[in-house]
């Protein structure tokens, strides 16, 4: 028998619906034309209603489109921070508007909650570049070397690791280890960036993000203008990082802008983030080469609506894999707590 939640269908866009969300549209109008808004708004309204009925929380990564990021998300940010904050909520259901490894991480940290991903094909070139079997072979090749794994990996790969890291804390995690040789997986560019700042020997994997890998130093230098600050993600190649004024995670880039003092920014990361930041910081002019993540683009308002309506697709992680992966994440968090103490 259909419940009120499953029977709900989006309303027809009309003046009344527009007026109901006039405040929200005023905020996003510079990035979402009215013609697009008229398509998005019925789904935004239906998702908001379903969210309450399902006791759900919607997470949106910084690379999600503005209609998702501002229209329906309850929590926004980096992938690990999303999973951590969702675990602290009273929600029964988590909807991950991101890619599959992010939904797995949310399930690892919230095993008792229902975790949904609106499109199971929302993958990640970086996460897919390495398998658990690859990690086991590396351990055989470099016996005694601890494995540091970027959170942008599958649950199975995390489970084979000694400790996880984020782009923000990778150097601190590596330096916290006693061993002189460290296996660092799987992003070769983040690994090179960390290697340039540590005395440890890093064994790297040849993984890369298909979005960040496309940027070049020549491209950045050609786009430079007086007064423009260049912010780049450490998943970019070395020549890009050399051409940048600031290198950091998506959260670190946002914080750099939030501190003020810069009015023109060249943002070297997935370009939807610049759309979202332009809404948050209307006084800042953003310029960027628009490299879109095809996997992030798979998440749409209609798919979020369908996921909440049907409570599917659900993300499951094997209990033992989740336990081991959670331990690797926890070791990373413990490093942060020791440094803060």
93-97 sheet: strands from edge to edge:
75-77, 56-61, 93-97, 114-116
Q: What ranges in the chain are assigned the alpha helix state H?
A: 4-7, 15-20, 22-28, 34-54, 66-69, 79-87, 100-109, 132-141, 155-159, 170-175, 188-195, 217-223, 238-243, 250-258, 272-280, 301-310, 319-340
Please check whether residue 178 lies inside any domain of the structure.
yes
Range of the domain at 175: 127-208
Asked if 169 and 216 sit in the same domain, the reply is no
Separation in Å, CA 304 to CA 53, 57, 88: 14, 12, 22
As a whole number of angstroms, the distance between CA 254 and CA 242 comes to: 20
Would the pTM of this model clear 0.75, i.e. be above it? yes
CATH code, domain with 226? 3.40.50.10800
Please check whether residue 40 lies inside any domain of the structure.
yes
Percent of the chain exceeding pLDDT 70 equals: 97
Please check whether residue 109 lies inside any domain of the structure.
yes
Q: Two tokens at 103?
A: 């939904």
Computed over every residue of the chain, the mean pLDDT equals: 94
From 74-78, 130-134, 262-266, 319-323, the region with the lowest mean pLDDT: 262-266
Buried b (16+ CB within 10 A) or exposed e, 24-44: bbebbeebbeeeebeebbbbb
Of 208, 232, 264, the last residue of a domain is: 208
Q: How many domains, in total, are found in the chain?
A: 3
> What is the per-residue pLDDT for 2?
42
Please check whether residue 181 lies inside any domain of the structure.
yes
């Amino acid at each position: 028998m259909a419940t009120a939640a499953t029977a709900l269908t989006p309303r027809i866009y009309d003046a009344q619906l527009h007026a109901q969300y006039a405040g929200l549209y005023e905020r996003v109008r510079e990035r979402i034309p009215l013609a697009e808004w008229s398509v998005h708004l019925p789904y935004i309204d239906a998702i908001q209603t379903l969210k309450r009925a399902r006791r759900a929380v919607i997470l949106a990564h910084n690379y999600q489109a503005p209609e998702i990021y501002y229209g329906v998300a309850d929590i926004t940010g980096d992938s690990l921070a999303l999973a951590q904050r969702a675990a602290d909520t009273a929600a029964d259901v988590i909807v991950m508007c991101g890619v599959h490894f992010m939904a797995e991480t949310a399930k690892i940290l919230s095993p008792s909650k229902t975790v949904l991903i609106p499109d199971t094909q929302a993958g990640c070139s970086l996460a897919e570049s390495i398998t658990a079997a690859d990690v086991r072979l590396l351990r055989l090749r470099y016996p005694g070397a601890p494995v540091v794994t970027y959170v942008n990996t599958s649950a199975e790969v995390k489970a084979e690791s000694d400790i996880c890291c984020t782009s923000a804390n990778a150097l601190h995690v590596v330096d916290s280890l006693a061993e002189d040789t460290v296996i660092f997986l799987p992003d070769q560019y983040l690994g090179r960036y960390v290697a340039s700042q540590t005395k440890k020997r890093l064994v790297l994997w040849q993984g890369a993000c298909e979005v960040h890998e496309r940027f070049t130093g020549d491209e950045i230098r050609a786009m430079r203008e007086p007064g423009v600050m260049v912010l780049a993600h450490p998943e970019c190649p070395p020549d890009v990082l050399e051409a940048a004024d600031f290198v950091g995670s998506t959260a670190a880039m946002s914080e750099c802008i939030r501190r003020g003092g810069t009015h023109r920014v060249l943002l070297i990361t997935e370009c939807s983030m610049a759309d979202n930041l332009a809404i948050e910081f209307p006084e800042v002019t953003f310029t960027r080469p628009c490299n879109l993540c095809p996997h992030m683009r798979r998440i749409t308002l209609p798919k979020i609506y369908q996921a909440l309506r049907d409570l599917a697709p659900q993300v499951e992680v094997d209990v033992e894999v989740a336990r081991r992966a959670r331990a690797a994440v926890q070791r990373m968090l413990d490093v942060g707590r020791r440094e803060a103490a």
